[in-house]
A and B are shown apart, each in its own frame.
Chain A
Amino acid sequence: MLQGTLDLLILQTLLPGPAHGHDIMKAIGQSSDQVLQVEQGSLYPALHRLIKRGWIEFDHGTSENNRRAKYYRLTPKGRKQLAVETTKWETLARAIARVLRPV
């Protein structure tokens, strides 16, 4: 997976609402039809990186099977950042597409 894309994917996944780590991973896999497989080992450092930057926060919640779990959610700052990152990514994707398939 490209450098920085994991951050973008996490932010995008959290846009609808809070989720815990495992959900985030699954959601990324499902919404990309299992094309994008998140390396689990890098998920947690990435989450903490985003916390440190102030783009996401976390709450302790009780999950469906009555266990304490950490729920990550987007901060307003993170929402803004998502827009920026998305634009950047789209620009990049278009550029790559143009290189690969010249019109």
Chain B
Amino acid sequence: MTWRRRSLDDLDADIRDHLERETQDNIDRGMTPHEARDAARRAFGNIAMTTEDTRAVWIPVWLDQLLQDARYGLRTLRRAPAFSIVVILTLGLGIGLNTAVFSVFNAVLLRPLAYPSPERLVSVSNYGAGLVSGMEAVGLTDFQSWREQATAAFDKLAAYQSSEQAVVTPDSAEQARLAWVSDDFWDIAAAGPALGRLPRPGERDVLVLSHAYFERRFQGDPRIVGSSAVVQGRQLLIAGVLPAAFRFQFPEPVQPQLGPAPIDGYRSMTLTRVPRPAANLVNVVGRLRPGATLEGARAELDTVRTRIAKADPFPIADELKLRVVALQDRLVGQAKPALRVLLAAVIFVLLIASVNIANLLLARASARQREIAIRVSMGAGRGRLLRQYVVESTILALAGGAAGVLVARAGLISLVGLFPLAVPRLTEAAIDSRALAFAMSASIGTAALFGLAPALALRRSNVHDLLKDGSRGSTGPGRLRLRRALVAIELALAAVLLCSAGLMIRSIWLLRAHAGGQSPQQILVMQVRFSGSRYPAQPARRAYADEALRRIAALPGVRAASLTTDRDFFTHAVVEGAPPLTEGEMMRAAPEMLIATSAAFAPAMGLRLIAGRWITDREATPAVAINETAARRQFPGQNPLGRRIGLPLFPQPPFPQPAERSLATVVGVVADVKYSKLDATPDAELYVPYATAPLLVAFSFVVRVDGDPLTLAPAIRKAVAEIDKTQPIFGVMTLEQALADSIAPRRFNLILLGTFAASALLLALIGIYGVIAYAVAQRTHEIGVRMALGAQRRQVVRMVVRQGMAIAVTGIALGIAAALAVTRVLASLLYEVTPTDPATFAGVAIILAATALAACGGPAMKAALVDPIVALRCE
């Protein structure tokens, strides 16, 4: 290259030298110096052409011209910094949002699981009658039969079950999310230990820590390996630590009330035979043998099930349906529709950005018409001019793409920070090489798209007219029409996005409107799960609960302290006098949820009493309060008060064995509330005093406080810890936060769609402002004439606004029509809102119209302030 450059370097000097020698020769021949120089030049011919021809020897012409174009392009972009910055930022926003969403899409749906032969991994589950709706699980006994008998299709079958447990070491007691895993789990996950070892086949009571938990709880101290911890009263050996790179990519826990959370530790599950129908529910995953199909696996499992069912006194199997799906589908299948919608929505944003940029480029092309005309008249070919545009667009696209990668990175970090668990595998999302390739191709694709507009405009331009037109360089009506059409399209796209986001907002709003409890931000909830040998039986547990409630209630700032069991005890209420359910009917019927709670629960939660009274802590005879759904189901069209329901209750102290079923009198009916999962339909609920609860394994304190709940939380924690410091309380948060967490996936979708819609609105605003401001600038002269002829400022304003609103109304109408056709795809993501909700659509139309009006305001004012004298003199 240096050799080449050197060869070319002094070409000009060389030619000059040549000319001087020729001139000298001519003088020697007797010409005057002037004649001599002219003759030399004539003889040489076109110097510029010679130079170009010579350069062409060294550098391929196209490359040379491309470099020229690029240099020229950079120079022109630098000369219009405002334009360049707006374009690069617009593009950065579009590309950035797209790249971020693509990274999520890639991590969640495209990237294979981190285990060997991911395509052969399957999830096996039962669902249907007898299980709570939405629950998918397998009885441990079924799993054991499958594992022993379904060996033709399955290479490995593993069971796991996760739960919250207190992990007690000599130093501290802390709640952790533990997974019990059967031996084959380690084969399927192909995991190896970073420290220590994994459980040996059949080894009982072994705990393996996740790397994050090892770092967090034990400060990464390797001496912890080999020591022991107590979980559920059993001494577990901490055998090893998993590597930081190990990922738990399996479906969420079978208990619906247990939300997603990272697994802290893995406990060995030993498979001892449990008699059916002991409902020990587990998740089952398997690895198919090479060549085995999902259908084959399903058929084999069905055969085994039928065989078991024949020998079984409780034929639960025929009520349940079997589901065998690819593990990847089970894991992220639910996130798929939402992610597809988000990807489509974000592509809309990029389209809007492209349209906006095309518009800006068109405006610029108008401003550059004279330059172009001069270049054409000097002999520049259309192809060369076109290439100039393409090169400039590409430079902008690459700069915008680079800005986009930064936007994507920041967006992804905040997204994962806000909603780490809203979508499975979300934390794996990163700007990797695939995302970069996506950003790159999106930039180039967009450049091709928006570079097209000025190129098309160029096709129509006519040099003669342009040069003749004089300094104003005004635009033909055709080009402005194209720009208006583009803005209308932009508004239409924004309208579709806004309608989608609006429907999501309405859904969340309706969810919140249904939320149980008054002012949930004033309610603090925290969980307790009994662990250890101190609480072997109910009396000790009740005593603990009594004492804790007494201490919490005594704290200043606490208005009401109550407790409620987790929503995990299902029963079948039998109304006195009604025919008893058969075993089969009981299996099919939707169960009622039995909740043990306290007298302060109603005031703490703000429950609305519909009839009768709330329960007290010491009822003389067994009493039960029911919610509206239970009242509707059990007592349709009747007054439930005073009726009696058979429930598996303990009678009052001194706690003998529970009667088969105690009859509890219905004392009150309360309104349905949602205090665990906002978007679930309310269950039928039966509230009994915790003194008579059949089981008190885990419960939550529900405390209504004055002032900021979280400042009170440490005091409550301390008060409870004073009773027993080995009994941790965990998950302390406000009810509002807990409810928000319960709909994290919806909020994730809303935040993203909302961001897209806001971006679209902003871009549309810029777009419409740009066109109107440009139109006003172009018409300054005409406006001056009008005003000189007596037009009022008001009329001028109206003229400008009318022009802008004509575009806006067309765009909004188009957009609403398109949204009506498109929002159907959102149906599965909405809650109690139809995809064509008229209120939402009307609201969007109004917002967009107001935005357009605001965008017209500035240019209209500018038009009104035109000074006719100045405008006319400008000519």
Closest A residue, CB atoms, query B42: A40
B18 A45 Cβ-Cβ under 8 A:
no
B18 → chain A, closest Cβ, in Å?
A: 5
* A51-B54 Cα distance, complex, nearest whole Å: 11
Contacts of A42 in B (CB 8 A): 50, 53
Contacts of A51 in B (CB 8 A): 7
Contacts of B148 in A (CB 8 A): none
Chain B 23-59, CB-CB to A under 8 Å as 1, else 0, gives 0010000000000000000011110011101101110
A67 → chain B, closest Cβ, in Å?
A: 7
Contacts of B21 in A (CB 8 A): 20, 22-23
A21 and B18 in contact (CB under 8 A), knowing A44-B11, A45-B50, A51-B7?
Answer: yes
B509 → chain A, closest Cβ, in Å?
A: 74
Contacts of A63 in B (CB 8 A): 17
Chain A 40-58, CB-CB to B under 8 Å as 1, else 0, gives 1110110111011000001
B56 A22 Cβ-Cβ under 8 A:
no
Contacts of B547 in A (CB 8 A): none
* A23-B24 Cα distance, complex, nearest whole Å: 13
* A60-B17 Cα distance, complex, nearest whole Å: 12
Closest A residue, CB atoms, query B57: A48
A40 B44 Cβ-Cβ under 8 A:
yes
A79 within 8 A of B: no
B17 A40 Cβ-Cβ under 8 A:
no
Contact of A48 among B18, B20, B45, B58 (CB under 8 A): B58
B465 within 8 A of A: no
Interface centre among A26, A41, A42 (most CB of B within 10 A): A41
* A37-B606 Cα distance, complex, nearest whole Å: 108
Chain B 55-84, CB-CB to A under 8 Å as 1, else 0, gives 011100000000000000000000000000
A41 B17 Cβ-Cβ under 8 A:
no
A80 → chain B, closest Cβ, in Å?
A: 21
Chain B 381-419, CB-CB to A under 8 Å as 1, else 0, gives 000000000000000000000000000000000000000
B10 within 8 A of A: yes
A22 B50 Cβ-Cβ under 8 A:
no
* A96-B54 Cα distance, complex, nearest whole Å: 32
A68 and B13 in contact (CB under 8 A), knowing A48-B58, A52-B57?
Answer: yes
A44 and B10 in contact (CB under 8 A), knowing A22-B22, A49-B57?
Answer: no
Contacts of B20 in A (CB 8 A): 67
B14 within 8 A of A: yes
Contact of B56 among A40, A45, A70 (CB under 8 A): A45
A41 B7 Cβ-Cβ under 8 A:
no
B18 A40 Cβ-Cβ under 8 A:
yes
Closest B residue, CB atoms, query A68: B13
A48 and B7 in contact (CB under 8 A), knowing A21-B18, A22-B17?
Answer: yes
Closest B residue, CB atoms, query A67: B17
* A23-B17 Cα distance, complex, nearest whole Å: 11
Closest B residue, CB atoms, query A24: B18
* A26-B43 Cα distance, complex, nearest whole Å: 12
Interface centre among A23, A58, A68, A70 (most CB of B within 10 A): A70
Contacts of A44 in B (CB 8 A): 11, 14-15, 50-51, 53-54
* A67-B743 Cα distance, complex, nearest whole Å: 85
B17 A70 Cβ-Cβ under 8 A:
yes
Contact of B17 among A21, A47, A48 (CB under 8 A): A21
A41 B14 Cβ-Cβ under 8 A:
no
A41 and B44 in contact (CB under 8 A), knowing A48-B54, A48-B58?
Answer: yes
Contacts of A47 in B (CB 8 A): 54
Closest B residue, CB atoms, query A26: B25
Chain B 409-437, CB-CB to A under 8 Å as 1, else 0, gives 00000000000000000000000000000
Per DSSP, chain B at the interface is helix
| Contact residues of B between 689 and 742, Cβ < 8 Å to A | none
A15 within 8 A of B: no
Chain A 61-85, CB-CB to B under 8 Å as 1, else 0, gives 0010001111000000000000000
Across chains A and B, the number of contacting residue pairs, with CB separation under 8 Å, is 65
A22 and B18 in contact (CB under 8 A), knowing A39-B45, A68-B13?
Answer: yes
Closest B residue, CB atoms, query A39: B45
* A47-B56 Cα distance, complex, nearest whole Å: 12
B652 → chain A, closest Cβ, in Å?
A: 107
Contacts of A20 in B (CB 8 A): 14, 17-18, 21
A45 B43 Cβ-Cβ under 8 A:
no
A52 B58 Cβ-Cβ under 8 A:
yes
* A40-B50 Cα distance, complex, nearest whole Å: 9
* A39-B46 Cα distance, complex, nearest whole Å: 11
A45 B44 Cβ-Cβ under 8 A:
no
* A44-B15 Cα distance, complex, nearest whole Å: 8
A41 B57 Cβ-Cβ under 8 A:
no
A90 → chain B, closest Cβ, in Å?
A: 27
B60 → chain A, closest Cβ, in Å?
A: 12
B542 → chain A, closest Cβ, in Å?
A: 98
Closest A residue, CB atoms, query B25: A26
B36 → chain A, closest Cβ, in Å?
A: 14
Contacts of B51 in A (CB 8 A): 44
A21 and B7 in contact (CB under 8 A), knowing A41-B44, A44-B50?
Answer: no
Closest B residue, CB atoms, query A60: B10
Chain A 3-40, CB-CB to B under 8 Å as 1, else 0, gives 00000000000000000111101100000000000011
Contacts of A25 in B (CB 8 A): 18
* A70-B54 Cα distance, complex, nearest whole Å: 15
* A42-B21 Cα distance, complex, nearest whole Å: 17
Contacts of B43 in A (CB 8 A): 40
Contacts of A69 in B (CB 8 A): 14, 17
Contacts of A21 in B (CB 8 A): 14-15, 17-18
B870 → chain A, closest Cβ, in Å?
A: 53
Contacts of B10 in A (CB 8 A): 60, 70
B22 → chain A, closest Cβ, in Å?
A: 6
B53 A41 Cβ-Cβ under 8 A:
yes
B17 A45 Cβ-Cβ under 8 A:
no
* A26-B24 Cα distance, complex, nearest whole Å: 13
A76 → chain B, closest Cβ, in Å?
A: 18
A93 → chain B, closest Cβ, in Å?
A: 27
B54 A45 Cβ-Cβ under 8 A:
yes
Closest B residue, CB atoms, query A37: B43
Contacts of B46 in A (CB 8 A): 41
Contact of B45 among A23, A41, A49, A52 (CB under 8 A): A41
Closest B residue, CB atoms, query A72: B14
Contacts of B49 in A (CB 8 A): 41
Contacts of B45 in A (CB 8 A): 39-41
* A7-B205 Cα distance, complex, nearest whole Å: 91
Contacts of B11 in A (CB 8 A): 44, 48
* A49-B34 Cα distance, complex, nearest whole Å: 33
Interface centre among A22, A23, A47 (most CB of B within 10 A): A22
Closest B residue, CB atoms, query A47: B54
A6 → chain B, closest Cβ, in Å?
A: 13
B44 → chain A, closest Cβ, in Å?
A: 4
* A18-B423 Cα distance, complex, nearest whole Å: 78
List 12 additional contacts besides A22-B18, A67-B17; criterion CB under 8 Å.
A20-B18, A21-B14, A21-B18, A23-B21, A26-B25, A40-B43, A40-B45, A44-B11, A45-B50, A48-B57, A63-B17, A70-B17
Q: Could you list 19 A-B pairs, sorted by A, with CB under 8 Å?
A: A20-B14, A20-B17, A20-B18, A22-B18, A22-B22, A40-B44, A41-B50, A42-B50, A42-B53, A44-B15, A44-B51, A44-B53, A45-B53, A45-B57, A48-B57, A51-B7, A52-B7, A60-B10, A68-B13
B contact set with A: CB distance below 8 Å = 7-8, 10-11, 13-15, 17-18, 20-22, 25, 43-46, 49-51, 53-54, 56-58
The 7 closest A-B pairs by CB, nearest first: A41-B45, A22-B21, A45-B53, A48-B57, A40-B44, A41-B50, A45-B54
A contact set with B: CB distance below 8 Å = 20-23, 25-26, 39-42, 44-45, 47-49, 51-52, 58, 60, 63, 67-70
